[in-house]
């Protein structure tokens, strides 16, 4: 936009500057010719009264008096007869232009002008200037027909035009700089609302569709565009809400059949079955568990998305939350031959350090992070779970020694169904665990961020606001029982 302002200003300046220059040129030349005619006419009147006794000194005196103005710096004046001979000086001092001009003026009985080109006029002509000659008819006392011829340099015109050009160039440069600054400011003010709208639109995700789009601007166009974006956001939010409700309803509907099939599979006496039938029951039982965990993941994610997850907020001792999650994940760590390496928050206030929320959701959140780290850790490696207090925030860092997070996945790691290519190929998990963990953290006023460690592996940092110990009670073991959810893959 700044370039457009500069281009428009430059075009206007060129047109207006060119018009002004031509006008100034025409006005200056007209003024010069008008003054030259006036001065020549005055000299002609005085010469008529002085003839035939006019001599060189008298003519020079008349010329100095009439041509003393700065318009005429250098000049030559003479009086010629009809044959082009000087009646003042002993010999003609003029080039061919002057006698010819005098003869024609006498014959026409009016003043005539002519430029003197490539002829010696007897005085210095500055660079860029030219010589102008004018002849006026004069009648002597005895009735003889004469003509006064004045030749002068138009250096005055050249200086005025050069000054005008310098002023226009200087003004143009100053104007360009001023227009560039003005254009930059105007462009910034005009584009800023659109830039903010673009930023807001770029940040829209299924997780933040509940956030209203508000961009204040006095312009009607920006307000109309803001309303359109807000209307589109509302339509998307409604569509996602319908999708979430459908997913929740379907999950509830198939939860009971899954539980029934799983119970039936578990109650079958496998000792009475042949090998093929036993394998079928075990596979069925395993698949029903996976499907059950997926359904629970959908239901938990729906609760988090609807913001209705914290139905029974309780105080939960922070270190106890970590220990409970470690206990939940210990069996999986043994299966993967990974050692859990915890470090609890320490200090004088560590015993009273608590967070407030739904105990089941809190354990689900931390379980997902730890299980995710276990899954990506090589055998005989360690998963670090380090708890600490940072002012009013409880921080848990979960480190693994795995391959780290691919750059193309890191940006969208907490979106639903996001998995690395390796995990998709192995058909492990569903890509919901990290989305659930982040959603639960945000629901409790916290957050989860992921990064690659310089020494290798990934680090997931959980932050939750701390609740001061106020005797409101600690959740019981029953309250702590978490949902079994599918782990996310990075």
Minimum mean pLDDT among 217-221, 252-256, 311-315: which range? Answer: 217-221
Residue 280 shares a structural domain with residue 340 = no
What is the model's pLDDT at position 447?
Answer: 92
190-217: average pLDDT: 70
Residue 329 shares a structural domain with residue 260 = no
426-449: average pLDDT: 78
Q: What percentage of the chain carries pLDDT values higher than 70?
A: 80
Residue 87 shares a structural domain with residue 133 = yes
Q: How do residues 232-244 score in pLDDT, each as one tens digit?
A: 878 887 877 776 6
Residue whose structure tokens are 């956030």? 211
Whole-structure pTM value: 0.48
Q: Are 255 and 295 in contact (CB under 8 A)?
A: yes
Q: How do residues 51-77 score in pLDDT, each as one tens digit?
A: 888 888 888 888 888 887 767 777 888
What is the model's pLDDT at position 57?
Answer: 87
Kindly report each contact of residues 252-257 with a partner whose C-beta sits within 8 Å and lies 24 or more positions away, as own/partner: 252/299, 254/291, 254/295, 255/292, 255/295, 255/299
Residue whose structure tokens are 């499907």? 291
- Displacement of CA 236 from its chain's centroid (Å): 27
The whole-angstrom separation of Cα 489 and Cα 376 is 8
Residue 295 shares a structural domain with residue 342 = no
Residue 73 shares a structural domain with residue 124 = yes
Cα angle: 317, vertex 322, 326; to 5 degrees: 145
Residue 113 shares a structural domain with residue 241 = no
Task: Determine whether 73 is exposed, middle or buried from the number of CB atoms within 10 Å of its CB (0-12, 13-18, 19+).
Answer: middle
* Structural tokens at position 24: 């100034």
Please determine, for residue 190, whether its predicted confidence score (pLDDT) is greater than 50.
Answer: yes
Q: What is the DSSP string of 176-233?
A: HHHHHHHHHHHHHHHHHHHHHHHHHHHT--GGGTTS------SSHHHHHHHHHHHHHH
Residue 126 shares a structural domain with residue 250 = no
Please determine, for residue 186, whether its predicted confidence score (pLDDT) is greater than 60.
Answer: yes
- Displacement of CA 389 from its chain's centroid (Å): 39
What is the model's pLDDT at position 90?
Answer: 76
What are φ and ψ of residue 211, in 5° steps? Answer: -80, 120
What is the model's pLDDT at position 33?
Answer: 85
What is the model's pLDDT at position 426?
Answer: 47
Minimum mean pLDDT among 51-55, 70-74, 452-456, 484-488: which range? Answer: 484-488
327-332: average pLDDT: 91
Please determine, for residue 464, whether its predicted confidence score (pLDDT) is greater than 70.
Answer: yes
Res. 423 pLDDT band, cuts 50 70 90: low
What is the model's pLDDT at position 481?
Answer: 37
Is residue 115 one of the residues assigned to a domain?
A: yes
Cα angle: 322, vertex 455, 382; to 5 degrees: 40
Res. 398 pLDDT band, cuts 50 70 90: very high
Is residue 183 one of the residues assigned to a domain?
A: no
Q: How do residues 9-48 score in pLDDT, each as one tens digit?
A: 778 878 888 888 888 888 888 888 888 888 889 888 888 8
Tally of CB atoms within 10 A around 353: 23
Res. 206 pLDDT band, cuts 50 70 90: low
Give the list of residues 6+ apart from residue 60 with CB closer than 8 angstroms, or none.
Answer: 77
Tell me the CATH number at 402. Answer: 3.30.565.10
Is residue 170 one of the residues assigned to a domain?
A: no
Residue 331 shares a structural domain with residue 469 = yes
The whole-angstrom separation of Cα 175 and Cα 212 is 43
Is pLDDT larger for residue 421 or for residue 189?
189
Per the structure, how many domains does the chain have?
Answer: 3
Is residue 334 one of the residues assigned to a domain?
A: yes
Res. 476 pLDDT band, cuts 50 70 90: very low
Tell me the CATH number at 54. Answer: 3.30.450.20
Is residue 205 one of the residues assigned to a domain?
A: no
Question: What count of residues does the chain have?
Answer: 490
Tell me the CATH number at 281. Answer: 1.10.287
Q: Domain end: 286, 304, 322, which one? A: 304
Res. 436 pLDDT band, cuts 50 70 90: confident
Residue 11 shares a structural domain with residue 137 = yes
Q: How do residues 263-288 score in pLDDT, each as one tens digit?
A: 888 888 878 888 888 888 888 887 78
Is residue 83 one of the residues assigned to a domain?
A: yes
**What DSSP state is assigned to residue 125?**
-
Is residue 166 one of the residues assigned to a domain?
A: no
Task: Determine whether 214 is exposed, middle or buried from the number of CB atoms within 10 Å of its CB (0-12, 13-18, 19+).
Answer: exposed
H helices present in 273-410, as ranges: 275-305, 318-335, 359-375, 407-410
Residue 36 shares a structural domain with residue 100 = yes
Is residue 174 one of the residues assigned to a domain?
A: no
Residue 230 shares a structural domain with residue 366 = no
323-346: average pLDDT: 92
Residue 422 shares a structural domain with residue 453 = yes
What is the model's pLDDT at position 297?
Answer: 67
What is the model's pLDDT at position 317?
Answer: 92
What is the model's pLDDT at position 92?
Answer: 58
Distances (CA, A) of 95 to 76, 111, 146, 272: 12, 19, 18, 140
Q: Domain end: 266, 286, 304, which one? A: 304
Q: Which domain holds residue 337?
A: 310-480
Minimum mean pLDDT among 211-225, 436-450, 466-480: which range? Answer: 466-480
The whole-angstrom separation of Cα 370 and Cα 328 is 10
Please determine, for residue 474, whether its predicted confidence score (pLDDT) is greater than 50.
Answer: no
Q: Domain end: 239, 271, 304, which one? A: 304
Strands (E), 403-486: 447-452, 458-465
Q: Are 213 and 226 in contact (CB under 8 A)?
A: yes
141-156: average pLDDT: 84
């Amino acid at each position: 936009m700044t370039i457009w302002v500069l281009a428009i200003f430059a075009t206007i300046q060129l047109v207006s500057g060119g018009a002004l220059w031509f006008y100034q040129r025409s006005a200056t030349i007209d003024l010069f010719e008008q003054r030259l005619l006036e001065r020549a006419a005055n000299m002609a009147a005085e010469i008529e009264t002085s003839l035939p006794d006019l001599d060189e000194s008298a003519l020079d005196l008349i010329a100095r008096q009439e041509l003393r103005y700065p318009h005429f710096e250098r000049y030559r004046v003479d009086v010629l007869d009809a044959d082009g001979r000087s009646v003042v000086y002993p010999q003609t001092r003029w080039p061919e232009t002057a006698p010819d001009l005098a003869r024609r003026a006498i014959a026409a009985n009016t003043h005539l002008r002519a430029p003197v080109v490539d002829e010696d006029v007897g005085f210095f002509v500055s660079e860029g200037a030219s010589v102008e000659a004018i002849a006026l008819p004069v009648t002597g006392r005895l009735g003889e027909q004469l003509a006064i011829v004045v030749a002068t340099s138009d250096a005055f015109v050249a200086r005025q035009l050069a000054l005008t050009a310098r002023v226009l160039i200087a003004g143009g440069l100053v104007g360009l700089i001023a227009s560039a600054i003005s254009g930059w400011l105007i462009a910034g003010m005009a584009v800023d609302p659109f830039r903010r709208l673009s930023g807001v639109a770029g940040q829209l995700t299924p997780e933040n569709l509940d956030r209203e789009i508000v961009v204040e601007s006095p312009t009607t166009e920006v307000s109309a565009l803001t309303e359109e974006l807000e209307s589109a956001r509302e339509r998307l939010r409604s569509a996602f809400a319908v999708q979430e409700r459908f997913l929740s309803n379907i999950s509830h509907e198939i939860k009971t059949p899954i539980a029934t099939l799983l119970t039936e599979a578990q109650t079958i006496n496998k000792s009475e079955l042949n090998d093929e039938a036993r394998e079928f029951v075990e596979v069925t039982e395993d698949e029903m568990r996976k499907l059950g965990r997926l359904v629970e993941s959908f239901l938990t994610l729906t609760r988090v998305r609807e913001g209705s997850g914290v139905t029974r907020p309780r105080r939960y001792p922070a270190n106890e939350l970590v220990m409970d999650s470690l206990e939940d994940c210990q069996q999986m760590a043994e299966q993967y031959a990974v050692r859990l390496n915890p470090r609890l928050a320490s200090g004088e206030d560590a015993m009273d350090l608590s967070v407030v929320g739904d105990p089941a959701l809190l354990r689900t959140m931390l379980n997902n992070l730890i299980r995710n780290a276990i899954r990506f850790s090589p055998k005989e490696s360690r998963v670090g779970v380090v708890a600490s207090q940072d002012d009013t925030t409880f921080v848990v860092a979960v480190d693994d020694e795995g391959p780290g997070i691919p750059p193309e996945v890191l940006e969208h790691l907490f979106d639903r169904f996001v998995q690395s290519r390796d995990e998709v190929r192995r058909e492990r998990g569903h890509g919901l665990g990290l989305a659930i963990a982040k959603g639960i953290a945000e629901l409790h006023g916290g957050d989860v961020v992921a990064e690659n460690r310089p020494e290798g592996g990934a680090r997931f940092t959980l932050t939750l606001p701390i609740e001061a110990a106020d005797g409101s009670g600690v959740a019981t073991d029953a309250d702590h029982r978490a949902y079994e959810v599918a782990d996310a893959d990075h």
